[in-house]
Amino acid sequence: MSTEFLDRINAPADLRRLDRRDLRRVATELRQFVLDSVSRTGGHLSSNLGTVELTIALHYVFDTPHDRIVWDVGHQSYPHKILTGRRAAMAGLRQQGGISGFPKRSESEYDAFGTAHSSTSISAALGMAVASRNAGVQRQHIAVIGDGAMTAGMVFEAMNNAGVTPDVNLLVILNDNDMSISPPVGALNRYLARLMSGRFYAAARNVGKAVLSHVPPVLELARRFEEHAKGMITPATLFEEFGFNYVGPIDGHDLEALVPTLQNLKELQGLQFLHVVTKKGQGYKLAEADPVLYHGPGKFDPSVGIQKSKGPAKQTFTQVFGQWLCDMGQADARLYGITPAMREGSGLVEFEKQCPKRYFDVGIAEQHAVTFAAGLACEGQKPVVAIYSTFLQRGYDQLIHDVALQNLDVTFALDRAGLVGADGATHAGNYDIAFLRCIPNMVVATPSDENEARLLLSTCYHHPGPASVRYPRGAGVGAPVSAGLEGVPLGRGVVRREGKRIAILGFGTLVPSAVNAAENLDATVADMRFVKPIDTELVLDLAARHDALVTLEEAAVMGGAGSAVAETLSQAGIVKPLLQLGLADLFIDHGDQAALLAQLGLDAAGIEASIRARFADLL
């Protein structure tokens, strides 16, 4: 299709030079470009198709980058990237050396704040607004929040703070694309939104308050009447109690409503809240019909849609967990499955069907998820919190104080442990070993393949205290998975290969690569299974029988499993050459998982090369 208008936009300033009547054409071209681009690279689709008009209106009305836009849940920012000079770079989206799938400050001056985890936008934008106020800089600060991010407590903490922060300009835009608090009501709704956002309405209301302030009972009557009158047509009361002037809801795909409303809001001072209703997948019927399927697809043909793969495929670790949860849930009525808004991603779809009364999606509220599980455990239930490794970081205080300190029986299934590929540094689960092993009472298990994942999930579930099982995104080696619910001895590893002189102590899914490397080195390989409690007996035995030890983990080396081995040796008074292999002290950007592991020297060839370089005299 023609990209006549899109070709003329290399920056938002170019967009602002267009006639407002041309914006519909821009939207058509931009939506098609997003669809074509994502179909070639993979990425987030449904959410970005839903923000096309909103993005155009924002950059058309506001003076970006001087005015700050913070995109909450950054996977809705592709149209923003395209309009801010990165259209050509979309060909390398989420690929190694290419642009990120999320806003990234180092990537563009238009990315005011890096946002890949949700619910941070209002806090960040408020901080920017205070800084601008104190520096005497006149600018607008816009937080675009949506995709369920309003379920997080941090959002309300930020609004609560904003409500008592004087003289700041902050516009919060609720991009309501899953459920609408109140549906738009056509022309009347558009008129009311424009009226309520206009300076005349704001001025009239303020003058009225000034006049009536001398007659307090009448002022209170007027205030209550205004709240009730607005409440009949908008859900204004909640947000206005925080000090925001609520406007909306309006159709987020109607540029004739969006542009004048934003223009009016731009002229207002203080705290503003605009509620827009959009549709995920807008303009692409297949994505509209199934926005979850098209949330983050791989490459596909837009004319055909996403096709199911033919033939048997390896089970992913997520699928192994999902099946285990259903099986254990049938066997034990005390099991509860909890997820913070990641039902599909964490593999709980079938469990919800089988055990609906014991399934809880608590929304994007990781802190609540952990303490909610603690409450269940207090009453003799056995909750399983299915959560991405990177998201558990948000519930760390609750993990320590509400679960571990009370030694409560909560199992944590940590998906996306280690590198995550295209999502990059913000989603990588590189730190869970380091931040979990320092917590008293905590069990940390690291399965090496799919069957080990099931075994260790059962082991940790049967353990009467807090425990975690970490496993990566995607499939493993294709190991057959047993159907039983038995576990393995807690804190005991196994030797997978006997060799000479050098012993590799593997933690997690790099063990198969270690076995491959060991074939050329004639090294011993141990599958340690547990970081905590570590198999002290096995560590000391390997140290006694070998000249050097190598630890291996797909996690941060600092404070990780290798550190646990070093501490074990130190406590036993053993001095032994030790090479710790894992993820270095840096943030690792997006790229293909296998290619990243190879680049970091954590594939079989890299492991062998590192050992040869360090212990050449032993080989």
Q: How far, in Å, are 12, 236, 368 from residue 259 at the CA level?
A: 15, 21, 38
Closest to 100 measured CA to CA, from 580, 501, 321, 421: 421
**Coil/strand/helix, residue 370:** helix
Marked catalytic residue, from 31, 190, 194, 280 = 280
Contact yes or no for 82/7 (Cβ under 8 A): no
Whether 394 is catalytic is yes
The H or E element containing residue 286 is: helix 285-289
- The 3-state secondary structure of 304-347 reads CECCCCCCCCCCEHHHHHHHHHHHHHHHCCCEEEEECCCCCCCC
Sign of the torsion angle spanned by Cα atoms 395, 396, 401, 406 = positive
**Coil/strand/helix, residue 478:** coil
**Which residue in the block uniquely carries the two structure tokens 């207002």?**
268
Segments of 329-459 assigned E as strands: 335-339, 359-361, 382-388, 411-415, 443-445
Closest to 110 measured CA to CA, from 156, 149, 55: 55
Burial 374-383 (b: 16+ CB within 10 A, else e): bebbeeebbb
Contact yes or no for 39/305 (Cβ under 8 A): no
Closest to 444 measured CA to CA, from 507, 395, 394: 507
* Cα dihedral 216, 222, 227, 232 in deg (nearest 10): 160
Q: Which residues contact 18 (CB under 8 A, 6 or more apart)?
A: 5, 8, 26, 60
Token pair recorded at residue 608: 């062998």
Token pair recorded at residue 486: 């038995």
Cα-trace Rg, the chain? 27
C-alpha–C-alpha distance, residues 193 and 236, integer Å? 12
**Which residue in the block uniquely carries the two structure tokens 């576990």?**
487
Q: How far, in Å, are 72, 415, 452, 548 from residue 507 at the CA level?
A: 35, 16, 12, 17
C-alpha–C-alpha distance, residues 223 and 225, integer Å? 5
Beginning with the edge strand found earlier in the chain, give each strand of the sheet holding 271-277 in spatial order: 68-71, 141-146, 170-176, 271-277, 245-251
Whether 450 is catalytic is no
**Which residue in the block uniquely carries the two structure tokens 């290399």?**
10
Please list the residues that pair with 506 across neighbouring strands: 527, 552
C-alpha–C-alpha distance, residues 504 and 516, integer Å? 11
Beginning with the edge strand found earlier in the chain, give each strand of the sheet holding 548-556 in spatial order: 494-497, 524-527, 502-507, 548-556, 578-583
Token pair recorded at residue 165: 């922060």
Marked catalytic residue, from 394, 416, 497, 529 = 394
Closest to 173 measured CA to CA, from 243, 111, 239, 102: 239
Marked catalytic residue, from 240, 366, 452, 553 = 366
Contact yes or no for 54/33 (Cβ under 8 A): no
Whether 256 is catalytic is no
Active site residues: 280, 366, 394
